[in-house]
Structure 1
């Protein structure tokens, strides 16, 4: 019950954040849809908390808005000395067999840290994805996963790690028979625009 409540809360929070950033930048739903390969109808449902969204689409939305992916999950508040309990972790909308939660919080903005859980056979999605041009460290806490990195395939077990540019398409699959847990550390945070006017698409409406 608690997990469902957290997921529902975060889905609503993400929708509210997308709408707040979009309206602050005077972008129409259609403009944002064109920039992210989605539709105005889908974005409207997302903003009202009526639709889920996968990781790759959220990354495109964050990039079009000129923000970090982190900005779509975090609630405002001080982070210095603040404990983040396991059940309080901001979470991406869950996908089948895969859960990804945010560990880093403001004002720590130099890197993003996520923890992921994969059921046997669970993956980050059907296709590899890339995001920004940062440095990513991937660490396996438990289980066995296969990481596709461009044309390479790496089988990693508990205690193994690998580093790569976030611009290289990548995908993770749990190839073991038990739950796999991993950590992603990204520096600097991806989808951050230093100059919003430069990175944001211009809106005609």
Structure 2
């Protein structure tokens, strides 16, 4: 990524407004977020977001940071004019991961900045789980594929026993959780579209 030199002049970010606006629109479109939804998340107006995306108005650093947070990217992603490399191999050992907890390790497979979808792998020791309480995130479409082992997936009031090769799709708005109910290690793959992770969530992966 190119080195970013974000300077502030009269509290406005130094950069080509048209270019920055185009990148904001690209990320917003990829995430299927409307002008109104982004305006509400950033305490602005749909009219302001529309003008900003067309390069007709600028934004101060605090507003740009709120936009980046709402879109799940870093502020630097708005200034990086270089093309994002594709066809890069991500080895298992190099996957960004969350700290291990509850006998559970979650890694991120998607390259940042996250675009049309995000992909994660969860590894569970026997008895390991995503936590005692079900969780929800956004209102997107999620697929869960069991790569190995045997897990119990709870979605709302329903409970599903799944083995390697089984998959299921559901809304991320419905509280859900996974637990390894087998005697061996289990591994699952999650695909979520559009992405729901905010930048603060992604920054936890190391």
Q: Deviations over 1:18-38 (max 9, x none)?
A: xxxxxxxxxxxxxxxxxxxxx
Residue 176 (structure 2) aligns with: 170
Residue 66 (structure 1) aligns with: 70
Choose which of 137, 142, 145 in structure 2 pairs with 1:139: 145
Distance 1:65 1:137, change over 3 A: same
Give the structure with higher Rg (CA).
Answer: 2
Residue 110 (structure 2) aligns with: 104
Q: How far 1:85 sits from its partner (Å)?
A: 1.0
Q: Deviations over 1:143-194 (max 9, x none)?
A: 000000000000000000000000000000000000001000000001469x
Q: How far 1:91 sits from its partner (Å)?
A: 0.6
Aligned length: 127
Q: How far 1:70 sits from its partner (Å)?
A: 10
**5 Å matches for 1:49-198?**
65-68=69-72, 78-106=84-112, 109-191=115-197
SS of residue matched to 2:188: strand
Give me the whole-angstrom Cα distance separating, in 2, the residues matched to 1:69 and 1:172. 27
**TM norm structure 2:** 0.56
Q: Structure 1 segments of 4 or more deviating over 4 A?
A: none
Residue 198 (structure 1) aligns with: none
Give me the whole-angstrom Cα distance separating, in 1, the residues matched to 2:117 and 2:185. 26
Give me the whole-angstrom Cα distance separating, in 2, the residues matched to 1:78 and 1:87. 22
**TM norm structure 1:** 0.56
Unaligned runs of 5+ in 2: 1-67, 200-206
Distance 1:84 1:120, change over 3 A: same
Q: RMSD of the alignment, in Å?
A: 2.8
Give me the whole-angstrom Cα distance separating, in 1, the residues matched to 2:124 and 2:71. 27
Give me the whole-angstrom Cα distance separating, in 2, the residues matched to 1:127 and 1:96. 12
Q: How far 1:80 sits from its partner (Å)?
A: 1.1
Distance 1:135 1:122, change over 3 A: same
Give me the whole-angstrom Cα distance separating, in 1, the residues matched to 2:192 and 2:162. 19
Distance 1:93 1:68, change over 3 A: farther
Q: Is the 8 A contact 1:121 1:175 kept in 2?
A: yes
